[in-house]
Structure 1
Amino acid sequence: MKHDTNNPLLQPIHGVSLEDYAAAASNMANGMSDEQVCKKLGIELPVWDEANQLWIKRMQQDTSFVVMSLYGQYFGQAHLHPKLGKQTNHQSNEDYLTRISTDEKFYYELCGARQAAYEAGLDGAKWIEDNYGISLGDFQSVAMKWMGNMINMLPYQQQKQKEYAKKFAEENGGNIADDIEF
């Protein structure tokens, strides 16, 4: 996304750029602590805390939505960040993460599986992490890439959701509400 580098809303806060902030948020969604972020960025915790609060305020003040748009872009590309990219704490199944980033149908299949898991009384995000090694934070980062085509992929996602619902029902001896009579 092209943007005006002189835009005051995009200037770093205490040395923390919007790209740093978004990459930090992505890593924190994947289990990295504030302290680890500070160490990677070379800043103290009080500096991070204030920068965090001020970036949120800037997003709220930005009527052009440039800050939020760039934040989304940077969040989705956190793995490319020079200091915060490619963290070892969530790289166990890199092939699946790469696949959902490059294979739109696989991404929407997992969306359907996640929803079916929730409807079966399971934690859908945990099911994906347990079976594919993809954390919720990584999954949501990829979602930014594919959300523009959601309307076209919804029938496919719903088809996969039905398939997984049947699978979960078979594994669990029926659906969660099968024993409820009205």
Structure 2
Amino acid sequence: MEINGVSFRDYACASANLVAGMSLEDVCKVLSLEVPVWEDTKNQWNGKMAEMSMDDMQFYGEVFTNPKQGKFANVVGGAEGPEVVLAKFPEWSDYIKMEQHMSVAHEYGIDIDLDKEYGISLTEYSQLAMHWSGYWKKYVIDVETQTSQEMINGVEFSEAQKEASRIFKLNGELTDKWENHFKEIYKNKGAGLSDDIDF
């Protein structure tokens, strides 16, 4: 199905590139549309979101981490691929720092400007989040844990289980470190959202 010659996936890529900083004029050029036709296309696709398949909706959610797909694959402007932001911030601790910065600031009613603080866009932050959630899934979530019987019998942990345990522990340490760091920074800069609520 297409609306004004634009498939749902092209619409999703266009939306993701707009969020990533591509100009509306450049997006319309890629789609060979005039701006008023894009606005009509956008409104119609937005109205059909509830009718889309699970696969389409999954693509819509994921395309914001890598907008360079389909007709936008080789277009200059907007977001680059995830390898660009990973070159800037290659360490897992970098992402946990940003995550805790945003989380703690939000508790104090402060919105973080990622570009000002870290020189990245929201799309690039999403790319980091997707990369490290994949890492967590592969090396922690997907690793089989020992059964209770294996524990009782003193079966040694496999190398994968040892690594999963190491990563799990490191995640806790880094999260605590950066959460405490930013709570110290923001403790006098704003009121917590629950400060004015009586329990």
Q: Give TM-score scaled by structure 2 length.
A: 0.59
Query: Match of 2:115?
Result: 129
Query: Match of 2:98?
Result: 110
Q: Quote the Cα distance in structure 2 between the aligned partners of 1:50 and 1:147.
A: 36
RMSD: 3.8
Query: Match of 1:160?
Result: 178
Q: Quote the Cα distance in structure 1 between the aligned partners of 2:40 and 2:106.
A: 36
Q: Does 1:24 align with 2:14?
A: yes
Q: Quote the Cα distance in structure 1 between the aligned partners of 2:58 and 2:88.
A: 22
The aligned amino acid for 1:163 is: H
Match runs of 1:19-168 below 5 Å: 19-62=9-52, 64-80=53-69, 82-83=71-72, 87-88=76-77, 97-99=85-87, 103-124=91-112, 126=113, 128-147=114-133, 149=136, 155=172, 156-168=174-186
Q: Quote the Cα distance in structure 1 between the aligned partners of 2:127 and 2:71.
A: 17
Q: Quote the Cα distance in structure 2 between the aligned partners of 1:99 and 1:121.
A: 31
Higher helix fraction: Structure 1 or Structure 2? 1
Q: Quote the Cα distance in structure 2 between the aligned partners of 1:27 and 1:72.
A: 13
Native 8 Å contact 1:99 1:106 kept in 2: no
Secondary structure, counterpart of 1:19 in structure 2: helix
Once the 2 structures are TM-superposed, how far is the Cα of residue 162 of structure 1 from its aligned partner?
1.8
Seq. identity, % = 28
More displaced stretch, 142-151 vs 72-81: 142-151
Alignment length (residue pairs): 161
Once the 2 structures are TM-superposed, how far is the Cα of residue 135 of structure 1 from its aligned partner?
1.6
Native 8 Å contact 2:10 2:71 kept in 1: no
Q: Which one has a bigger Cα radius of gyration?
A: 2
- Structure 1, unmatched stretches of 5+, are 1-10
Q: Quote the Cα distance in structure 1 between the aligned partners of 2:90 and 2:3.
A: 34
